[in-house]
Amino acid sequence: GITRHYTFNIKMANVTRLCHTKSIVTVNGRFPGPKIVAREGDRVVVKVVNHVKSNVTLHWHGIRQLRSGWADGPAYITQCPIQTGQTYVYNFTITGQRGTLWWHAHISWLRSTLYGPIIILPKPTVPYPFARPYKEVPIIFGEWWNADTEAVISQALQTGGGPNVSDAYTINGLPGPLYNCSAKDVFKLKVKPGKTYLLRMINAALNDELFFSIANHTLTIVDVDAVYVKPFNTEILLIAPGQTTNVLLQTKPTFPNATFSMEARPYVTGQGTFDNSTTSGILEYHDQYHLHPSNSKHSLPLLLKRPVLPDLNDTGFATNYTSKLRSLANSEYPANVPKLVDRRYFFTVGLGSSPCPENQTCQGPTNGTKFAATVNNVSFVMPNIALLQSHFSGQSRGVYSPDFPIIPLSPFNYTGAPPNNTLVGNGTKVVVLPFNTSVELVMQDTSILGAESHPLHLHGFNFFVVGQGFGNYDPAKDPTKFNLVDPVERNTVGVPAGGWVAIRFQADNPGVWFMHCHLEVHTSWGLKMAWVVLDGSLPNQKLPPPPADLPKC
């Protein structure tokens, strides 16, 4: 591979959407941010210079970061923030991945404006396992608030209530014409007839899973989270925050007498307030004939066709769609599912509440409480020095404790009833794993405050989704149905609303790896934890020392 150099200047820029102009944090003044393009095997070096008042870190979502944990980016987990005027160089190699990933800020809610695509092409001599597309187009969903998002979340954390919902969803930064004052801010995908386009879709929205569809067109899913899948056709796809999906779009063989709307709208399983609006863009057929304004009198009147999306809470669609995602699992792209499990874990994930601090009025789920979210009833408390730094220097005492509450499945003592997490505990607790442990993790939605789908993201690894179901996980029956042959491999998975998901991964990457719900509001409330993976005994099984420019707290 080669080395690809990028310079990301973090600076403010004025952006206007929905008739509101605000000053936002950007990379190089661009919104959405610039794309990174590399091939599998390349080294990527991104020099990040912070010119803004806020602290910043960037995360390369889904990049395996094999023995390069110092470049992973979550604030206070692998690094201290890059302060005003400081520079930090992220340096990592892309190993064994090809597809679409993305980068985003990983501190507070800055990722609402700091995000962009990572395009990973196969090695030069290696073709796609599908017909070569005519063109490739990134499509990145986001969420726009007219207000400052840092103010939105800090107000929510102070009152203990839910943050204000966004004012619009966006496609490539543009809300589209279904919103007021947004007629011109429309993403247009101009296509030719009879061609195949590869759409590289990314859900960078903060708090919502999204359904997406293009009127009168079929999408062929070929890749999720930078891993090829067995191709299948669908009219509608579902994508959770953090997830990426590559789809092939086959355009009509001749010029249609219509333009086609592409639309995305949330899949909502929780209660409470949410933004149920729709973002839209346009699929427009073009050729020279249509492009020449002098010919416009010859063009046929164009009709706008709109797609039909599932109901907001259509869990049936969600279940059916996710069950179709399967690894290629062939000789070229094998699914290396851990067959033997060294350690089994059972984690509950869900919302709860904690007492309202004195002298405060709280707007939590019940009187006198504020919202909290947990893994195994622990609401994670961010340390004020990075866990990876304290782990590497052997000074973890007072920073984190290795006593993350574990309900081992073997020997089974899980009662079948989710722990009551209405009132939660908190702490900076981690699970410590010896190098190369093969892990099975069952995550159960607790439903204490209503069932809700949680897109859980694990840093530093891909995992295989070996099983999922509704109700309480049954350790006696459910494992017999696990798919160890062609389960989908990914980095973010939805724990079904009122159900469970089982994943397996090989802890072959020494470092400290964050795991959290990718609904940003749940992360803010504490639905997060970390795995510490110890060094192995061989030199190539150890985390190298930190780079000299690693920021200090």
Rounded to a whole number of angstroms, the minimum distance from the CB of residue 322 to ligand C2O is 19
Establish whether the linkage from the previous residue to 163 is cis, with ω within 30° of 0.
no
The reply to whether 522 sits near ligand C2O by the rule CB under 6 A is: no
The reply to whether 459 sits near ligand C2O by the rule CB under 6 A is: yes
The interface region with ligand C2O, picked from 400-408, 410-418, 474-482, 511-519 by CB under 6 A, is 511-519
Tokens of 21: 């102009």
Q: Which helix or strand (DSSP H or E) is residue 347 part of?
A: strand 343-355
The reply to whether 454 sits near ligand C2O by the rule CB under 6 A is: no
Q: Considering beta carbons, is residue 260 or 525 the nearer one to ligand C2O?
A: 525
Cα 43–chain centre separation = 22
* Separation CA 159–CA 225 (nearest Å): 36
Q: Considering beta carbons, is residue 225 or 486 the nearer one to ligand C2O?
A: 225
Of 231-250, binders to ligand C2O (CB under 6 A) are: 242
Q: Which of 457, 490, 504, 522 binds ligand C2O (CB under 6 A)?
A: 457
Rounded to a whole number of angstroms, the minimum distance from the CB of residue 428 to ligand C2O is 16
Rounded to a whole number of angstroms, the minimum distance from the CB of residue 168 to ligand C2O is 21
Rounded to a whole number of angstroms, the minimum distance from the CB of residue 457 to ligand C2O is 5
Q: Is 295 left (phi over 0), alpha (psi -120 to 50) or beta?
A: alpha
Q: Considering beta carbons, is residue 133 or 455 the nearer one to ligand C2O?
A: 455
Of 22-61, binders to ligand C2O (CB under 6 A) are: 59, 61
Q: Which of 212, 321, 473, 514 binds ligand C2O (CB under 6 A)?
A: 514
Q: Which of 439, 516, 524, 526 binds ligand C2O (CB under 6 A)?
A: 516
| Site size toward ligand C2O, by CB under 6 A | 11
Q: Considering beta carbons, is residue 63 or 186 the nearer one to ligand C2O?
A: 63
The interface region with ligand C2O, picked from 15-23, 80-88, 227-235, 512-520 by CB under 6 A, is 512-520
358-394 b/e (C-beta count within 10 Å ≥ 16 → b): eeeebebbeeebbbbbbbbbbbbeebebbbbbbbbee
Q: Considering beta carbons, is residue 99 or 176 the nearer one to ligand C2O?
A: 99
DSSP 375: E
Q: Is the dihedral of CA 368, 370, 374, 378 positive or negative?
A: negative
The reply to whether 104 sits near ligand C2O by the rule CB under 6 A is: yes
**Strands, DSSP E only, in 28-98?**
36-39, 43-50, 58-61, 87-93
Measuring CA to CA, how many Å separate 490 from each of 11, 99, 241, 244? Answer: 32, 12, 13, 9
The interface region with ligand C2O, picked from 156-164, 370-378, 387-395, 513-521 by CB under 6 A, is 513-521
Rounded to a whole number of angstroms, the minimum distance from the CB of residue 62 to ligand C2O is 8
Q: Considering beta carbons, is residue 142 or 364 the nearer one to ligand C2O?
A: 142
Rounded to a whole number of angstroms, the minimum distance from the CB of residue 522 to ligand C2O is 12
Measure the CA angle with vertex 325, ends 439 and 490; round to 5°: 40
Tokens of 392: 């590497």
* Separation CA 159–CA 271 (nearest Å): 19
Q: Which of 33, 74, 162, 350 binds ligand C2O (CB under 6 A)?
A: 74
- Beta bridge partner(s), residue 120: 38, 99
Rounded to a whole number of angstroms, the minimum distance from the CB of residue 333 to ligand C2O is 24
- Beta bridge partner(s), residue 355: 369
The reply to whether 370 sits near ligand C2O by the rule CB under 6 A is: no
- φ and ψ at 551, to 5 degrees? -60, 150
Binding to ligand C2O by CB under 6 A, coded x per residue (else -) over 106-135, reads: x-----------------------------
Q: Is the dihedral of CA 189, 194, 195, 201 positive or negative?
A: positive
Q: Considering beta carbons, is residue 314 or 489 the nearer one to ligand C2O?
A: 489
- Beta bridge partner(s), residue 383: none
Rounded to a whole number of angstroms, the minimum distance from the CB of residue 63 to ligand C2O is 10
- φ and ψ at 17, to 5 degrees? -140, 145
Query: Which chain residues interact with ligand C2O by CB under 6 A?
Result: 59, 61, 74, 104, 106, 242, 457, 459, 514, 516, 518
